[in-house]
Chain A
Amino acid sequence: MTQLFFTAIAQVLIIGLVVGAGLPALFALGVRSMAYGAGGDAETGHQVGHPAGRVAGVLIFAVVLAAIALGIAIIVSSGFGYKVSFEHIVPTFIEK
């Protein structure tokens, strides 16, 4: 039982770190990207960020949103007797 327990903990911790800390970090990168070229902490000017930064920012936010959508898909599908498989890297729904 102890071994099962530590395996479970390790799994939750590793996946949790990747998703639970990684996604906020990615999101922060998106925020940083949006603000690229718009001045720092002092906030002297109110000019808009550099267009390249904005494009990168939107892309990053899209990745975060996709990850959340995947999370919701996992909850919903398990309720309907399906599970999400990563076997072919692209997530697909398979019957349990």
Chain B
Amino acid sequence: MDVSLIILCLVVVTALAFDFTNGFHDTANAMATSIATGALKPKAAVTLSAVLNLIGAFLSVEVALTVTNAVINIQDKSGAPNVALTADGGFTLLMIVFAGLVGAIVWNLLTWLLGLPSSSSHALFGGLIGSTMAALGVSGVKWTGDGSKLDGVLGKVVMPAFASPVIAAIIAAAGTWLVYKITQGVAERYKESGFRWGQIGSASLVSLAHGTNDAQKTMGVITLALIASGQWTDTENVPFWVKLTCALAIALGTYLGGWRIIRTLGKGLVEISSPQGMAAESASAAVILTSSHLGFALSTTHVATGSILGTGLGKKGAEVRWGVAGRMVAAWMITLPCAGLVGAIMFWIGNGIGGLFGTLVVFALLCGLSGYMWWRSKKAPVDHNNVNEDWDRATPETQVPASAQA
């Protein structure tokens, strides 16, 4: 078997692994509120979300081949890789993508271990920026774009990250306030059953939107790797097997459920009731769909967190745990640089050693780090049985971000 083909296979496997972490990291965005209010049983919620993610991934047939163009300069406008980077049989480009993906996965797993919802797209962009800087220097990164549209790290990542949670919080707060105002004095039994259905419907919409948005990022990355190594030439289409495996990976990840993050979002931030849950998910769905329609890039995670926080602000007497919110924001701020640092280090190691052996060393590092974090998580497991345990009375071990013991 050809050496470059083995490297390509490792890149594809790693990309699918990233897609998988993307799925379980983001289950919480759609389903945390429905699980917390008991509108859906935990297992039923993750199953529903997984199915909708799978459907969503297939619905997005739009070519996402140019996904890296938002932040780095390794492809041209049509999606074809830079000629300079493929001169060596595509090794440099594959290594940039590979190291970037490793950085993204490591950061996703670490934040999952800490129970912190952080953006998977920021992790991916961060990892790619880091590995690109290690490979090509600062000029390899598209910091601002040419000013004609919102582009580059500033326009596609930094600015939306500050704005989107605030927008989502305002909308969710307004929705919550209206819902409570309108249903004031209505018998409890009508509210309970009515808002449960509203909640399930709005959460489903968020899941579907997530599948259409996020799965195609990995599809784009894998197709780029295939083109770089000469296995695929069509920049207009994504191979069917790529679409299928990406859809399955994100759905499987979603089904596994990032229980630690679901717990933080559903129980940790605000004590949530059905009307609040519906308001939060409606706000999230509206913001995500409007932005992606307008081409304004934002992270599902930031929106969902902002919405849940907003429902706490919109309901009189609801308590928002600002300490938990503060830790989340801190995690968001460092997501990009941390994933970038891991990406850069992985590139130096992989490229420094070079060839198949370098790639294998990086892959072994990824497996080792992932295995270690999985092992740590077993010490204080959070799963579908204890995901809804009372936050304040919980043992410090399962109150994951508060203990931050890892």
Q: Which residues of A contact B (CB under 8 A)?
A: 1, 4-5, 8-9, 11-13, 15-17, 19-21, 23-25, 27-32, 34-35, 38-41, 43, 49, 68, 71-72, 74-76, 78-81
Cross-chain pairs A/B with CB under 8 angstroms, 9 sampled: A11-B294, A12-B287, A13-B171, A20-B287, A24-B176, A24-B202, A28-B182, A75-B212, A81-B62
> In the complex, which residues of chain B have a beta carbon less than 8 angstroms from the beta carbon of A76?
59
Other A-B pairs, 20, CB within 8 Å; known A12-B296, A19-B290, A41-B186: A1-B150, A4-B150, A5-B159, A11-B294, A13-B167, A16-B167, A16-B290, A21-B279, A21-B283, A24-B198, A25-B178, A28-B178, A28-B179, A31-B190, A31-B191, A32-B182, A35-B190, A71-B289, A75-B56, A75-B208
* 1/0 contact string of B168-200 vs chain A (CB within 8 Å): 101110111011001101111111001100100
Tell me if B's interface is mostly helix, strand, loop or mixed.
Answer: helix
> In the complex, which residues of chain B have a beta carbon less than 8 angstroms from the beta carbon of A79?
59-62, 212
Give the contacts of B144-171 with A (CB-CB under 8 A).
Answer: 144-145, 147, 149-150, 154-155, 159, 163, 167-168, 170-171
In whole angstroms, what is the CA distance A67 to B145 when docked?
36
In whole angstroms, what is the CA distance A80 to B209 when docked?
15
> In the complex, which residues of chain A have a beta carbon less than 8 angstroms from the beta carbon of B171?
13, 16-17, 20-21
In whole angstroms, what is the CA distance A32 to B195 when docked?
11
> In the complex, which residues of chain B have a beta carbon less than 8 angstroms from the beta carbon of A74?
289, 293
Closest Cβ of chain A to B71, distance in Å, is 15
Q: Which residue of B lies closest to A30 (CB)?
A: B194
From B190, B195, B296, residue with most partner A Cβ within 10 Å: B190
Q: Which residues of B contact A (CB under 8 A)?
A: 56, 59-62, 144-145, 147, 149-150, 154-155, 159, 163, 167-168, 170-172, 174-176, 178-179, 182-183, 185-191, 194-195, 198, 201-202, 205, 208-209, 212, 275, 278-279, 282-287, 289-291, 293-294, 296
Taking a contact as CB atoms closer than 8 A, the residue among B56, B150, B275, B284 that contacts A8 in the complex is B150
In whole angstroms, what is the CA distance A59 to B390 when docked?
39
Q: Are B150 and A5 closer than 8 Å at their CB atoms?
A: yes
Given A12-B290, A21-B175, answer yes or no on A27-B278 (Cβ-Cβ < 8 Å): yes
Q: Are B185 and A40 closer than 8 Å at their CB atoms?
A: yes
Q: Are A1 and B155 closer than 8 Å at their CB atoms?
A: yes
